[in-house]
């Protein structure tokens, strides 16, 4: 039996987990209270409990609550996907877009608008999800041989190549059709506001399935960090672990990108912050990364609301402004490069 004493490693990590949960709750409360109209925490609680009937309560329940929940779910999904990507590729700069997920989602939306002239938000989400899933599937099928040889680097190369190709094709469609340009210039920014929540139920199911696979995959990643030969000797099925990881990344990153658009750096920043707190134990790193991702994206959305009054900056812009300097710092610190 494991005893959770204050000085034990399990006790410390559990305390960190509780602190991250508290930070997530705090940033969610701040997201509900802060905006063009500041609302007191007491009134926020009253609106959530159905005890308030006012204009502020309507703003909270109809506008701020949906975007806050979306930011929490999407941020957690991207954080977990980023942790899996970095663990499987052994690359500290890996993030969900490395498999071409973002480029595939964007290309799916571009084809929808260019070929069919459809601008429905629901159709856009479906097209983005299909595009992200299709590209990940193609990359996976092309990289089956690399899985047999245990070289995840090949998958990263294939994903980067597919992303470059689809980005070029998307640019061509944008240049040929103004309607496609008008749709994509807003969708590509990445945001959690003004998103249609009609597909929230199915997408939550997709994300939950991704979380389950990621949790199971975290145990295998601990063995894989010792090397594939050692992992096999310990009873880990290496190829199955790789496949589960790829599927989890596709579900998590694909769903988040389909609803919110491409959100760069969340899947890069969150795993590094989580690794600082948890070390290299993926049983803790994966949930830590999910909580950090939720905090980062929700905080970015909240800051964006008040950063440029009377308008607002989209969450994707704020995350990039924070993530770009961090990326430079990561590349300059050898201590973080060695996974």
Task: Report all structural domains of the chain as residue ranges with CATH numbers, in order of start.
Answer: 9-337 (1.10.3470.10)
Tell me how long the chain is.
339
Residue 215 has pLDDT above 60, yes or no: yes
pLDDT on residue 339: 58
List, for residues 278-292, the tens digit of each pLDDT value: 888 899 999 999 999
- pLDDT value at residue 278: 85
Predicted local confidence at residue 6, as pLDDT: 45
Confidence (pLDDT) at 151: 56
For range 323-329, the mean pLDDT? 74
Mean pLDDT to the nearest integer, 106-121: 85
What pLDDT sits at residue 31?
Answer: 92
Q: Which is nearest to 107 in space by CA: 131, 138, 140, 126?
A: 131
Alpha-carbon distance of 310 to 299, in angstroms, equals 19
Phi and psi torsions of 53, nearest 5°:
-135, 85
Whether the pTM exceeds 0.85: the reply is yes
Phi-psi region of 263 (alpha: psi -120 to 50; beta: other; left: phi over 0): beta
Percent of the chain with pLDDT over 90: 24
Token pair recorded at residue 262: 């491409």
Residue 76 pLDDT grade (very low, low, confident, very high; cuts 50, 70, 90) = very high
Cis peptide bond N-terminal to 263, omega within 30: no
Does residue 253 surpass a pLDDT of 60? Answer: yes
Mean pLDDT of 94-111: 86
């Amino acid at each position: 039996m494991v005893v959770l004493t204050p000085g034990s490693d399990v006790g410390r990590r559990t305390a960190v987990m509780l602190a991250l949960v508290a930070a997530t709750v705090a940033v969610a409360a701040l997201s509900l209270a802060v905006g063009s109209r500041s609302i007191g925490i007491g009134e926020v609680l009253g609106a959530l409990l159905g005890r308030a009937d006012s204009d502020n309560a309507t703003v909270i329940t109809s506008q701020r609550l949906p975007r806050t929940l979306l930011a929490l779910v999407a941020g957690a999904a991207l954080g977990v996907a980023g942790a899996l990507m970095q663990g499987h590729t052994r690359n500290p700069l890996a993030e969900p877009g490395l498999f071409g997920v973002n480029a595939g989602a964007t290309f799916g939306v571009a084809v929808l608008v260019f070929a069919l002239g459809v601008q429905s938000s629901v159709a856009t989400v479906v097209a983005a999800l299909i595009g992200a899933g299709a590209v990940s599937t193609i990359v996976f099928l092309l990289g089956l041989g690399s899985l047999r040889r245990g070289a995840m680097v090949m998958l990263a190369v294939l994903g980067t190549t597919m992303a470059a190709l689809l980005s070029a094709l998307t640019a061509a469609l944008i240049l040929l059709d103004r309607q496609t340009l008008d749709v994509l210039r807003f969708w590509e920014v990445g945001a959690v506001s003004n998103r249609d929540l009609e597909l929230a139920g199915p997408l939550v199911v997709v994300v939950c399935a991704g979380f389950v696979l990621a949790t199971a995959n975290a145990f295998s990643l601990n063995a894989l960090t010792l090397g594939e030969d050692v992992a096999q000797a310990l009873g880990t099925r290496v190829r199955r672990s790789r496949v589960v990881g790829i599927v989890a990344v596709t579900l998590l990153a694909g769903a988040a990108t389909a609803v919110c658009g491409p959100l760069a750096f969340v899947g890069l920043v969150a795993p590094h912050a989580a690794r600082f707190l948890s070390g290299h134990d993926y049983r803790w790193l994966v949930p830590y990364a999910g909580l950090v991702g939720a905090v980062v994206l929700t905080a970015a959305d909240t800051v964006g609301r008040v950063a440029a009054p009377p308008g607002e900056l989209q969450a994707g812009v704020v995350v990039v402004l924070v993530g770009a300097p961090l990326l430079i710092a990561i590349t300059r610190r050898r201590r973080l490069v060695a996974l």
